[in-house]
């Protein structure tokens, strides 16, 4: 059997994004033990850098050993006890996944639903909380399956009326690409993933807990249902005790540290501006081709763009052609949006002008080959007009 040499791809799907060469180099650094004094320094650095990226002073801010879904599961298994009422806002796949996990934890679920591709009615959330007196409200900030960005300021306005309710937030596709402002919006438990706007390989799930959430964790009447994700034990490994819990993925933590250093060097505001600019250029190019975006402008993610597939155009053929001829990966729709949208990620290192222009040019060519009548070069010109202004 020969060595595996993966092809070079331009990752413009819903994740993972391209990783910086510095991050890939960090992965190949020599291993040390998970309790080695030098690795403990790495752990301290990661916690400090994560507080910067999450925009929080929360002491319990660490990466969970596992992908973003492990972060999601950690949030619910640590905060939800059997019989607890939980309100989950659902407008895509990841709200559905939250709902599933609530049931597995033995919680009592109330769903607040919006059409896939649309934002929530705040009065519905308010009424659900009034009716249930739920101790937890769970929201997906950046719904990867639809490209919808939920306004944290509006959710906070509702939660101000329910001071005892914990705010649980999925920011897997927004952390590092959009402001999350954990302390400003009084988010009690947030989780993310390394492979999106942080441009690190998948494998860790950054989380952060407020003192209010930690207090709820301390007062649990029953054991956390997952031994591996039990933060009452995991926090002791990342805290002053340094008590062994599991063997941390050493190389992935090296990579995360370097990815976070890159975020810090660029600066959060500069990083957000870059993601916003490239999103605007992409949308301008898409619309110049006569295509339409799924979401309203005020609801759109910068990091994950959802484009409606034109009639009589094959989703699979377009994505296959982009991959084979241009080395570009994009994603298709999920659930009710299958074969109806393309999902184009502009996250972290993948969010740059070259990728936007290359994708628009490639998509224009592929759609022309499928019989669409397009003005060649119009998409790139429209995007360049955004960049020039």
pLDDT for residue 297: 97
Domains 21-265 and 268-388 share a fold: no
Q: What is the CATH number of domain 268-388?
A: 3.90.1150.10
Domain extents for the chain?
21-265, 268-388
pLDDT for residue 98: 98
Domain 21-265: which CATH class?
Answer: alpha beta
For 66-95, how does the pLDDT look when each residue is reduced to its tens digit (9 = 90+)?
999 999 999 999 999 999 999 999 999 999
Give Dmax (Cα) for the chain: 66
Alpha-carbon torsion (287, 293, 296, 300), positive or negative: negative
Whether pTM exceeds 0.75: yes
pLDDT for residue 257: 98
pLDDT for residue 346: 98
The CA distance from 15 to 330, in Å, is: 9
pLDDT for residue 220: 96
pLDDT for residue 230: 98
pLDDT for residue 31: 97
Angle, CA of 67, 345 and 372, to the nearest 5°? 140
For 274-294, how does the pLDDT look when each residue is reduced to its tens digit (9 = 90+)?
999 999 999 999 999 999 999
pLDDT for residue 55: 98
Mean pLDDT per 10-residue run, the chain (389 residues)? Answer: 94 97 98 96 98 98 98 98 98 98 98 98 98 98 98 98 98 98 98 98 98 97 96 96 95 98 98 98 98 98 98 96 98 97 98 98 96 93 97
CA distances from 247 to 49, 189, 205, 251 (A): 22, 24, 15, 11
């Amino acid at each position: 059997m020969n060595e595996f040499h993966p092809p070079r791809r331009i990752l413009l799907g819903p994740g993972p994004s391209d990783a910086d060469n510095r991050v890939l180099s960090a992965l190949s650094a020599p291993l040390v033990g998970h309790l080695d004094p030098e690795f403990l320094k790495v752990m301290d650095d990661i916690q400090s850098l994560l507080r910067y990226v999450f925009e929080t002073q929360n002491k319990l801010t660490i990466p969970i050993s596992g992908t973003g879904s492990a972060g999601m599961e950690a949030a619910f298994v640590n905060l939800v006890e059997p019989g607890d009422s939980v309100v989950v806002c659902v407008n895509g796949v990841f709200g559905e996944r939250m709902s599933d996990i609530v049931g597995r934890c033995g919680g009592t679920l109330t769903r607040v639903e919006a059409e896939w591709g649309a934002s929530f009615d705040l009065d519905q959330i308010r009424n659900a909380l009034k009716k249930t007196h739920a101790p937890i409200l769970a929201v997906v900030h950046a719904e990867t399956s639809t490209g919808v960005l939920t306004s944290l300021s509006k959710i906070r306005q509702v939660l101000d009326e329910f001071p005892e309710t914990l705010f649980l937030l999925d920011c897997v596709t927004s952390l590092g690409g959009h402001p999350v402002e954990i302390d400003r919006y009084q988010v009690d438990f947030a989780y993310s993933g390394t492979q999106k706007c942080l441009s690190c390989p998948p494998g860790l799930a950054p989380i952060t807990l407020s003192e209010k959430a930690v207090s709820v964790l301390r007062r649990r009447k029953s054991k956390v249902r997952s031994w591996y994700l039990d933060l009452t034990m995991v926090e002791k490994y990342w805290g002053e005790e340094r008590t062994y819990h599991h063997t941390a993925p050493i190389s992935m933590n090296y990579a995360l540290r370097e990815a976070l250093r890159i975020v810090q060097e660029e600066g959060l505001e500069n990083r957000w501006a870059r993601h916003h600019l490239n999103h605007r250029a992409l949308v301008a190019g898409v619309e110049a081709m006569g295509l339409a975006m799924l979401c309203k402008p005020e609801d759109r993610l910068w990091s994950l763009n959802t484009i409606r597939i034109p009639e009589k155009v094959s989703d699979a053929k377009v994505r296959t052609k982009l991959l084979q001829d241009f080395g570009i990966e994009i994603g298709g729709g999920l659930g009710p949006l299958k074969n109806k949208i393309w999902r184009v990620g502009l996250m972290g290192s993948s969010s740059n002008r070259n990728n936007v222009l290359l994708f628009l040019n490639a998509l224009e060519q592929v759609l022309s080959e499928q019989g669409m009548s397009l003005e060649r070069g119009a998409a790139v010109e429209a995007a360049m007009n955004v960049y020039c202004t």
